[in-house]
């Protein structure tokens, strides 16, 4: 079974949802840079103060901040790890390669219009970071997280104008990682549209 997995793909492609399922079923540790940064912003830490402006506009936080943050987090991990939202640039991927060998890069492929629709209808849990969708993945009780009972919210960067900017940023900075991992022989691309459980079946095949 693969132990070091990078989840690749544009925002809204299902990295968080599939990552959550992998964690629940196989016990991977999921490290999401987006979740960590949002927590830092909420707690008003130095990192949060530096990151907020970039995140609000949908831009990437500077590489050095992210690389330092992840170096520390990764060093403390034993067992399988899922990296969600990192690396997002070739510079970050090179820094990661110095620390550990990625044995699978799972790339979720989803069309742009579907991504815009998914992100603008996404609702998130500020407490446990679970994600929902107003139509396709509704919580059992409106506005309340199934997992921990916290009140769901819409991320500021999930509003349409910012979403379109995030997709541009993805294309320019992160898409080159598809070729990067293809060249290393670790890339598997999964069609990320359709039933969540069917997509998960393909994910499970890829990690074997």
Active site residues: 15, 88, 122, 155, 166
Taking the complex as a whole, the smallest distance from the CB of residue 207 to ligand AMP amounts, in Å, to: 21
CA distances from 192 to 27, 35, 130 (A): 22, 21, 18
Number of residues that bind ligand AMP (CB under 6 A): 17
Of 1-40, binders to ligand AMP (CB under 6 A) are 11, 33-34, 37
**Residue 172 burial (CB count, 10 A):** 11
> Which of 2-10, 86-94, 98-106, 181-189 is the region at the interface with ligand AMP (rule: CB under 6 A)?
86-94
The nearer residue to ligand AMP, 34 or 80, going by C-beta atoms, is 34
Tokens 């997709």 found at:
167
CA distance 97 to 100: 5
Cβ at position 61, least distance to ligand AMP in Å: 4
Is 17 or 33 the residue whose CB approaches ligand AMP more closely?
33
Of 51 and 188, which CB lies nearer to ligand AMP in the complex structure? 51
- The C-alpha atoms of residue 200 and residue 208 are separated, in whole angstroms, by 13
Q: Which of residues 115-174 bind ligand AMP (CB under 6 A)?
A: 157, 166
* Contact pick of 9, 14, 19, 85 for ligand AMP (by CB under 6 A): 85
> How many other C-beta atoms lie within 10 A of the C-beta of residue 208?
7
Q: Does 55 bind ligand AMP (CB under 6 A)?
A: yes
> How far is 204 from 182, CA to CA, in rounded Å?
19
Phi, psi of 127 (to 5 degrees): -95, -55
Q: Could you tell me the CA-to-CA distances from 85 to 108, 119, 140 in Å, in that order?
A: 12, 15, 27
CB of 74 to ligand AMP, least distance (A): 13
Do the bridges between strand 29-32 and strand 81-84 make them parallel or antiparallel, or are there none, so unpaired? Answer: parallel
Residue number with CB closer to ligand AMP (37 or 187): 37
- Tracing tokens 């079946």 back to the chain, one arrives at 201
171: preceding bond cis by omega (within 30 degrees)? no
Q: Which of 2, 21, 54, 184 binds ligand AMP (CB under 6 A)?
A: 54
Residue numbers of the site for ligand AMP (CB under 6 A)?
A: 11, 33-34, 37, 54-55, 58-61, 66, 85-86, 88, 92, 157, 166
């Amino acid at each position: 079974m693969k132990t070091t997995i990078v989840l690749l793909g544009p925002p809204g492609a299902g990295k968080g949802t599939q990552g959550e399922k992998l964690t629940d079923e196989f016990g991977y540790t999921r490290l999401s840079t987006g979740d960590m940064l949002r927590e830092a912003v909420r707690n008003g830490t130095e990192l949060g103060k530096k990151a907020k402006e970039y995140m609000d506009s949908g831009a990437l936080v500077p590489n050095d901040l992210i690389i330092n943050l992840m170096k520390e987090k990764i060093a403390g991990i034993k067992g399988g790890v899922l990296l969600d939202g990192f690396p997002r640039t070739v510079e970050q991927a090179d820094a990661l390669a110095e620390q550990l060998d990625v044995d699978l890069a799972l790339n979720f492929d989803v069309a742009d219009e579907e991504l815009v629709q998914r992100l603008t209808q996404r609702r998130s849990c500020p407490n446990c970071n679970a994600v929902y969708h107003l139509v396709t993945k509704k919580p059992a009780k409106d506005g309340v997280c199934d997992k921990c009972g916290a009140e769901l919210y819409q991320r500021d960067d999930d509003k349409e104008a910012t979403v379109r900017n995030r997709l541009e940023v993805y294309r320019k900075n992160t898409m080159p990682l598809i070729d990067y991992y293809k060249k290393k022989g670790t890339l598997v691309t999964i069609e990320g549209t359709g039933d969540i459980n069917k997509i998960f079946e393909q994910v499970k095949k890829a990690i074997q």
